[in-house]
């Protein structure tokens, strides 16, 4: 038996769930089922109607008394899409309905008390599509099988003929081999098409006792063909030969007793990840490849957590997004690529989180601990234990941090921790929390500015601090300090003494950024060398430098409040901003990854730049970023190549190789037709039409369309061309519709293309 190690959600491991509720078009927040059709529309079944979602709007189907063409009940229990693209709907009180993808009309399969070849009850909880086109339906009175071609129903009533021992069933699955599995109150049953009856799985074999006389509440098939089955004793796995392979017990789930394991649905994703929803404990997740196990629950202090701990349905769409239907919180989605950007944040009343939202500095020490400087103190994260320790400013304790505002943190060659604050430099003993404070007082103009620390580095056995009044060296053993003023603007320097950032130079020394450019400083001699200034006659686009970085090929990159500056070894300068594909001209920090690509933190998102090609990919909060706003020089690259960026809502950590992009163009559909700016109902869904005949009177027509990439629908893009009228493709900017007026008589072909947020057409 295999048991994954149970783990609560550690800092940085939380997922980002995006929610859709009544505020977003749902008429009711209890979502029993989710499915995606052949076009790409998502369908949500709620207790008060059926919803079709295109990423932009909800189209609601509800029962109307006396309308045989509509739904017969609003309580939607389950959904399935057949090979023809038709949607099958299980309802509470309205039997089973089929919505034709081509006609948009419903066909109903209802209980008739005078006809034994109809559903035995109109209260249907689960449906499953068989390979022969028939539909299995679990009702409150037993199991039925619908033949769509004839409309006839066969009832499988408990007894010798059916092989079933009760009429109380919970789950049903038709696997990839065409085998039908039934989870009943009293065990797991398998259907024999030859005998047209069920039998108890492995009856008499004590190894499979968990499937005998026990309720099988949920089932799923994994990509490798194994089956996952939920019982009151946990989740069991049957391998491809249908031999018992694994058992995930109550202990695995972190629960006290088997009675607490109440699994309602299981989902095995295309990547091999497994999700198990519970009736009270949120959702469980584990990865077969790594054995990692997590429990994700609702957290009132975290708006990105699940909205409810009762999960009623789960579904993976064709792009890999996982959808969760909840009891009271509507439907939520999780986009797996966002997992790449781990988010470490402050959580109110949670000691095991950052002490403040605003992050200014990040450092990983030689033990692998992550140090974070914030507006509310310094924290150390033990990632192995998932535990924070905080070091705070206490006005009544001279051995606490000098200030709550921590701008930089440094581990020196001896493993000592140095902290740069708004009130000086501190030497911290991590074990005791004891702080020795250092203040720069010799040869200073303004003691406040002289002790407002921007950065720290170690060189020549000294600790160097960049301040608002120049550069200071500090002897860590004696406390003796010395001030190094920057020369006035000219060939030997870059001007003023407000220093902002520092980075090792490949030629030796350190690149120092300031309010008026960047220069290379040699700690051995105390001299400045080549410099680049900003302004009208300078190399840089702007004088104020937020960050500086020299890449492996000797190119100098300078982040300013107006564009990123590239200075090649031959002195040639290039600038990058909005016109070059970034989302902002305000550049806060820049790091190089192991492949030579640059990661650029801005005032409006994060970007990846390939310096060789100029290609840019942009990321925002929908990708998992802490915020779209980052902070100046709040960045760190670990020896393992992990990148860290801090901002106004915590920090992100990621390995660039794990950041993926959807490479397939998304599906697209025309969703609405307009005459004179009024939506016009057609005999069939417009998404199913290939021709539309219009009158000469229809002088103003319009169309609305949808791109079926649900990761960030508002970031999707459209372009269209009406052949016979438009000479070229036109892009719809900021909207998803087009209007034409006064078209000449004739035939036209409307073409629409869509792209996702990463520009994949």
pLDDT tens digits for range 615-659: 999 999 999 999 999 999 999 999 999 999 999 999 999 999 999
Average pLDDT across the chain, whole number: 94
Q: Which residue has the tokens 């036109």?
A: 730
The pLDDT score that the predictor gives to residue 577 is: 98
Spatial separation of the C-alpha atoms in residues 658 and 85, rounded to whole Å:
35
The pLDDT score that the predictor gives to residue 410 is: 99
Q: How confident is the model at residue 260 (pLDDT cuts 50, 70, 90)?
A: low
Q: How confident is the model at residue 255 (pLDDT cuts 50, 70, 90)?
A: low
What are 674-721's pLDDT values in tens digits? 999 999 999 999 999 999 999 999 999 999 999 999 999 999 999 999
pLDDT higher than 70, residue 493 = no
Contacts of 694 (CB under 8 A, 6+ apart): 701
Q: In the structure encoding, which two tokens stand for residue 557, read together?
A: 């990159």
Task: Tell me the three state secondary structure of residue 337.
Answer: helix
What are 423-459's pLDDT values in tens digits? 999 999 999 999 999 999 999 999 999 999 999 999 9
pLDDT higher than 80, residue 496 = no
CB atoms within 10 A of CB 558: 31
Put residue 197 in one of left, alpha, beta given phi > 0 → left and psi -120 to 50 → alpha: beta
Task: Tell me the three state secondary structure of residue 658.
Answer: helix
The pLDDT score that the predictor gives to residue 206 is: 86
Q: Which residue has the tokens 């769409």?
A: 317
CATH class of segment(s) 386-620 = mainly beta
Q: What is the average per-residue pLDDT within 253-273?
A: 82
Spatial separation of the C-alpha atoms in residues 173 and 216, rounded to whole Å:
11
pLDDT higher than 60, residue 7 = no
Q: Which residue has the tokens 């939520």?
A: 332
The continuous run of DSSP H or E covering 520 comes out as: strand 517-522
Q: What is the average per-residue pLDDT within 131-154?
A: 98
The pLDDT score that the predictor gives to residue 486 is: 65
Q: How confident is the model at residue 758 (pLDDT cuts 50, 70, 90)?
A: confident
Question: Distance of CA 402 to CAs 106, 357, 446, 447, 470, Å?
Answer: 71, 19, 17, 14, 20
Largest CA distance in the chain: 102
Q: Which residue has the tokens 């029993």?
A: 32
Q: What is the average per-residue pLDDT within 222-227?
A: 95
pLDDT higher than 80, residue 168 = yes
The pLDDT score that the predictor gives to residue 290 is: 82
Q: Which residue has the tokens 């089932």?
A: 219
Contacts of 448 (CB under 8 A, 6+ apart): none
By percentage, how much of the chain surpasses pLDDT 70? 96
pLDDT higher than 50, residue 1 = no
With beta carbons less than 8 A apart as the criterion, state whether 340 and 608 touch.
no
Q: Which residue has the tokens 């929908």?
A: 622
Enumerate the β-bridge partners of residue 308.
none
The pLDDT score that the predictor gives to residue 9 is: 72
Q: Which residue has the tokens 């789960």?
A: 314
pLDDT higher than 90, residue 301 = no
**Least reliable range by pLDDT among 180-189, 202-211, 640-649:** 202-211
The pLDDT score that the predictor gives to residue 258 is: 62
Q: In the structure encoding, which two tokens stand for residue 608, read together?
A: 């990846």
Task: Tell me the three state secondary structure of residue 180.
Answer: strand
pLDDT higher than 50, residue 42 = yes
Enumerate the β-bridge partners of residue 592.
598
Spatial separation of the C-alpha atoms in residues 153 and 572, rounded to whole Å:
78
Structural domain 668-755, CATH architecture: Sandwich (2.60)
The continuous run of DSSP H or E covering 105 comes out as: none
**One fold for 386-620 and 668-755:** no
The pLDDT score that the predictor gives to residue 495 is: 45
Spatial separation of the C-alpha atoms in residues 89 and 107, rounded to whole Å:
10
The pLDDT score that the predictor gives to residue 8 is: 61
Higher-scoring residue by pLDDT: 740, 13: 740
Put residue 537 in one of left, alpha, beta given phi > 0 → left and psi -120 to 50 → alpha: alpha
Domain ranges of the chain: 1-28+265-341, 29-264, 386-620, 668-755
Q: Which residue has the tokens 């692998």?
A: 368
Topology adopted by domain 29-264:
Methylamine Dehydrogenase; Chain H (2.130.10)
With beta carbons less than 8 A apart as the criterion, state whether 324 and 277 touch.
yes
The pLDDT score that the predictor gives to residue 270 is: 95
The pLDDT score that the predictor gives to residue 209 is: 86
Spatial separation of the C-alpha atoms in residues 580 and 687, rounded to whole Å:
37
Q: What is the average per-residue pLDDT within 186-211?
A: 94
pLDDT higher than 50, residue 284 = yes
The set of long-range contacts for 119-123, using a CB threshold of 8 Å and a minimum separation of 24, is 119/95, 119/144, 119/146, 119/153, 120/144, 120/153, 120/155, 120/157, 122/72, 122/73, 122/91, 122/93, 122/94, 122/95, 123/92, 123/93
Question: Distance of CA 91 to CAs 33, 139, 283, Å?
Answer: 11, 10, 25
The pLDDT score that the predictor gives to residue 50 is: 99
126: Cα separation from own chain's centroid: 30
The pLDDT score that the predictor gives to residue 256 is: 63
pLDDT higher than 60, residue 491 = no
DSSP letters, 7-33, are ----TT----EEEE-GGGT-S-S-EEE
Q: What is the average per-residue pLDDT within 151-175?
A: 97
With beta carbons less than 8 A apart as the criterion, state whether 235 and 229 touch.
yes
């Amino acid at each position: 038996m295999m048991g994954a190690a149970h783990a609560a959600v550690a800092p940085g491991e939380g997922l980002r769930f995006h929610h859709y509720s009544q505020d977003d078009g749902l008429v009711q927040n209890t979502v029993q089922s989710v499915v995606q059709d052949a076009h790409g529309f998502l369908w949500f079944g709620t207790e008060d109607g059926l919803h079709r979602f295109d990423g932009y709007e909800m189209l609601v189907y509800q029962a109307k008394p006396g309308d045989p063409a509509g739904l017969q009940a609003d309580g939607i229990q389950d959904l399935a899409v057949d090979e023809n693209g038709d949607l099958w709907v299980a309802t509470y009180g309205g039997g089973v309905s089929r919505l034709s993808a081509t006609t948009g009309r419903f066909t109903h399969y209802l209980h008739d008390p005078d006809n034994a070849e109809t559903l035995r009850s109109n209260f249907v909880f689960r449906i499953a599509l068989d390979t022969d086109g028939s539909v299995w339906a679990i009702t409150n009175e037993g199991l039925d099988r619908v033949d769509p071609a004839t409309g006839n129903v066969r009832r499988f009533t408990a007894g010798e003929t059916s092989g079933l021992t009760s009429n109380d069933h919970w789950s049903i699955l038709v696997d990839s081999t065409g085998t039908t599995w039934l989870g009943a109150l009293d065990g797991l049953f398998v259907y024999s098409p030859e005998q047209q009856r069920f039998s108890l799985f492995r009856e008499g074999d004590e190894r499979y006792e968990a499937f005998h006389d026990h309720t099988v509440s949920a089932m799923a098939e994994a990509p490798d063909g194994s089956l996952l089955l939920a019982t009151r004793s946990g989740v069991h796995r049957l391998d491809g030969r249908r031999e018992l392979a694994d058992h995930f017990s109550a202990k695995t789930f972190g629960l006290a007793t088997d009675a607490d394991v109440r699994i309602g649905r299981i989902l095995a994703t295309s990547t091999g990840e497994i999700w198990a929803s519970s009736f009270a404990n949120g959702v469980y997740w584990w990865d077969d490849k790594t054995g990692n196990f997590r429990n994700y629950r609702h957290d009132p202090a975290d708006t990105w957590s699940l909205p409810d701990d009762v999960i009623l349905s789960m579904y993976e769409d064709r792009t890999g997004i996982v959808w969760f239907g909840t009891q009271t919180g509507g439907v939520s989605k999780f986009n797996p690529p966002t997992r790449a950007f781990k988010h470490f944040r402050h959580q109110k009343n949670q000691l095991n989180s950052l002490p403040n939202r605003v992050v200014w500095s990040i450092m990983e020490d030689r033990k692998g601990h992550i140090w974070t400087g914030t507006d509310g103190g310094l924290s150390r994260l033990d990632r192995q234990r998932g535990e924070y320790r905080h070091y705070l400013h206490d006005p009544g304790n001279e051995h606490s941090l000098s200030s709550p505002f921590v701008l930089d943190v440094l581990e020196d060659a001896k493993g000592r921790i140095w902290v740069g604050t708004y009130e000086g430099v501190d030497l911290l003993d991590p074990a005791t929390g004891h702080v020795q404070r250092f203040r720069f007082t010799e040869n200073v103009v303004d003691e406040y500015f002289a002790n407002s620390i921007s950065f720290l580095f170690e060189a020549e056995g000294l600790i160097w601090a960049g301040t608002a009044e120049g550069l200071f060296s500090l002897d860590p053993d004696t406390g003796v300090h010395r001030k190094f003023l920057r020369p006035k603007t000219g060939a030997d320097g870059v001007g003023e003494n407000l220093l902002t950032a520092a980075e090792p130079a490949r030629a030796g020394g350190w690149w120092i950024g300031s309010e008026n450019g960047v220069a290379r400083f040699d700690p051995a001699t105390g001299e400045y060398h080549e410099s680049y200034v900003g302004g009208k006659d300078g190399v840089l686009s702007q004088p104020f430098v937020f960050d500086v970085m020299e890449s492996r090929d000797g190119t100098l990159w300078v982040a300013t409040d107006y564009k990123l500056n590239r200075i090649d070894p031959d002195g040639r300068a290039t600038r990058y901003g909005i016109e070059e594909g970034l989302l902002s001209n305000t550049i806060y920090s820049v790091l190089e990854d192991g492949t030579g690509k640059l990661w650029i933190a801005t005032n409006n998102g994060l970007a990846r730049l390939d310096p060789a090609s100029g290609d840019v990919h942009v990321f925002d909060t929908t990708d998992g970023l802490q915020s779209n706003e980052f902070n100046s020089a709040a960045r760190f690259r670990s020896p393992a190549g992990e990148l860290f960026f801090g901002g106004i809502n915590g920090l992100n950590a990621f390995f660039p190789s794990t950041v993926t992009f959807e490479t397939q163009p998304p599906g697209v559909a025309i969703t609405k037709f307009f005459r004179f700016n009024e939506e016009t109902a057609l005999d069939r869904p417009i998404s199913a039409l290939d021709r539309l005949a219009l009158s000469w009177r229809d002088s103003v027509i319009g169309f609305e369309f949808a791109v079926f990439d649900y990761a960030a629908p508002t970031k999707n893009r459209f372009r269209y061309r009406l052949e016979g009228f438009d000479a070229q493709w036109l892009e719809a900017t900021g909207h998803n519709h087009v209007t034409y007026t006064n078209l000449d008589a004739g035939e036209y072909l409307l073409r629409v293309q869509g792209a996702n947020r990463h520009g994949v057409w």
